[in-house]
Amino acid sequence: MSYNEADTRAKLIDPAIHAKGWTEDHIKREVSAGAIDVIGKKAKRRSKGRIDYTLRLKVNSDSQPVAIALIEAKKESLSPGFGLEQGKKYAEGKCNRLDIKFVFSSNGHIAGVPLVTNQQINTLVIKDDKSIDYEYLYYFIKHIREDLRRNASTSLVAIISKRKLESIPISFEDDINKQKAIAVKLKKQMTAIDEILRDIDRQITDVDAFVERQISDAICSSVGSDWTEGLVEEFAEVNPSVKGISKKPDDDDEVPFVPMPAVSAEEGRITEQIVKKYSEVRKGYTYFEEGDILFAKITPCMQNGKIAIAENLVSKIGFGSTEFHVIRVDEHLIPEWLFYHFRRKSYLMEAVGKMQGAVGQQRLPDAFIRKTQIAFPSSLDAQREIVKNLQGQVDRASELKHDLNKQKKNVIALREAYYRESFESEAQE
């Protein structure tokens, strides 16, 4: 069952926009698109409409954000481009006055391409439409996209230049009628594949929503008379200083190092500890100890939920990426309580609106964490019991999500097999 327009915006489009680094202060929703025309001496308002999303950027600290793009949202069952004409009409009205240059339409899925991008876009124009079919070329480009990625520059993001794109050697079916037959077959296959992938993604979204409810019900909705309330900074130290180490290791002592990729957003744990000498990491890195919480602060790691408890360290202290905040609870809390509080999607969404810096390189200030309101049972045993029950629910959901992701991986592998069958087998004939 596909999402209606409201759910498509909330569950598909909003997360996609936030994942690309757009914060709430850069997004304006449902802006009136009714422009005013002056005819003779009378003002006449054009037919009204509501722009679903207007994306804005701040030119300088003293000015209001400038509108640069709009997105017209449609329910998931419609094609991604269904609302494009409607968006273009808005562009002739409100957007024309605001000089907006970019119009997007979305059902939450755009053929695997990021929903919003401020990066370079290359356009392919066929010189002779009697020698190559447009849809055949479209699927052929999707087939060789890994080659395109390998040829892309990666200084910050992967970008393939016009020169490199033109220089990539390709070979394809000469007979345009065979091209069209291949395109028709692929379109049918890809339509089925895309529907399966959308269904799997919906199930994954539902699992995530279940986990969110379980966490919220367990630690946020059951405040009792024996609970303590306050701010995080009252019960935890945020970013403790390395000077607080009671006994510093010798330079040759081995300590664990945790880079950002070693924290799994999916599993909420550290997946790898790289052993280094203390002399290599004592300066310029983030210090933490056993039981501390690592909280990624930079886009998009923060939005993705890269949060983990430092457990089973090879030594009592460790070091990691400078893009982590470190939270150390006091004797009133168990770290798992704050870990689950931070892992909530609603909390991360709230944090997105507090991030600072340029789009693509934004960071969450530690003040947001310090000033977070929390509540917890005064008894540590009661905290452990609640967390134990919650962990059981989360583990079962994680197993289901793992199976769904495995299904998704298999479907994607089938999609690639269809491409290979269509393009590589013909090249061997």
CATH number at 231 reads: 3.90.220.20
Which is higher by pLDDT, 119 or 241? 241
Upstream peptide bond of 300 is cis (omega within 30 degrees of 0): yes
Tell me, yes or no, whether 132 lies in a domain: no
Of 75-84, 252-261, 315-324, least confident by mean pLDDT is 75-84
Instruction: Report d(CA 280, CA 278) in Å as an integer.
Output: 5
10-20: pLDDT as tens digits: 888 888 888 77
Counted domains in the chain? 2
DSSP annotation of 399 reads: H
Same domain, 112 and 231: no
Same domain as 373, residue 236 = yes
What local confidence, expressed as pLDDT, does residue 14 receive? Answer: 87
pLDDT per position as a tens digit, 150-179 = 777 655 456 777 777 777 777 777 888 999
- 153 within domain boundaries: no
CATH of the domain at 101: 3.90.1570.30
Say if 360 falls within a structural domain.
yes
Tell me: the pLDDT tens digits for 365-413?
999 999 999 999 999 999 999 999 999 999 999 999 999 999 999 999 9
| 110 and 232 housed in the same domain | no
Using alpha carbons only, give the angle 349, 351, 353 rounded to the nearest 5 degrees: 85
> What pLDDT shows up at residue 263?
95
Nearest to 298 by CA among 335, 261, 329: 261
pLDDT (tens digit per residue) in 278-304 = 999 988 999 999 999 999 999 889 989
Q: For 53-60, what is the mean pLDDT?
A: 76
**Residue where one domain finishes, among candidates 84, 118, 152:** 118
The packing angle between helices 134-143 and 176-219, to 10°, is 50
Torsion angle, alpha carbons of 421, 424, 426, 428, to 10: -130
Domain boundary among 71, 99, 118: 118
- In this prediction, residue 92 has a pLDDT band, given cuts at 50, 70 and 90, of low
Q: Is 38 helix (H, G, I), strand (E, B) or coil?
A: strand
Closest of 257, 370, 337, 351 to residue 305, by C-alpha: 351
- Kindly state whether residue 403 falls inside one of the protein's structural domains: no
Task: Give the global pTM.
Answer: 0.65
Report yes or no on 304 lying in a domain: yes
Q: What pLDDT is recorded for position 46?
A: 47
* pLDDT exceeds cutoff 50 at 114: no
Query: Among 273, 369, 284, which residue's Cα sits nearest to residue 317?
Result: 273
Mean pLDDT of the chain: 83
Residues 6 or more apart from 333 whose CB is under 8 A from it? Answer: 235, 236, 376, 380, 383
Residue 165 lies in a domain: no
Q: Would the pLDDT of 116 be above 60?
A: no
Per the domain annotation, does 215 fall within a domain? no
Q: Which residues contact 104 (CB under 8 A, 6 or more apart)?
A: 69, 70, 71, 72, 87, 115, 116
| Amino acid making up residue 343 | R
Q: What single-letter amino acid sits at 165?
A: L
Last residue in a domain, options 118, 153, 180: 118
Q: Look at residue 373 and tell me if it is in a domain.
A: yes
Q: Which domain holds residue 23?
A: 1-118
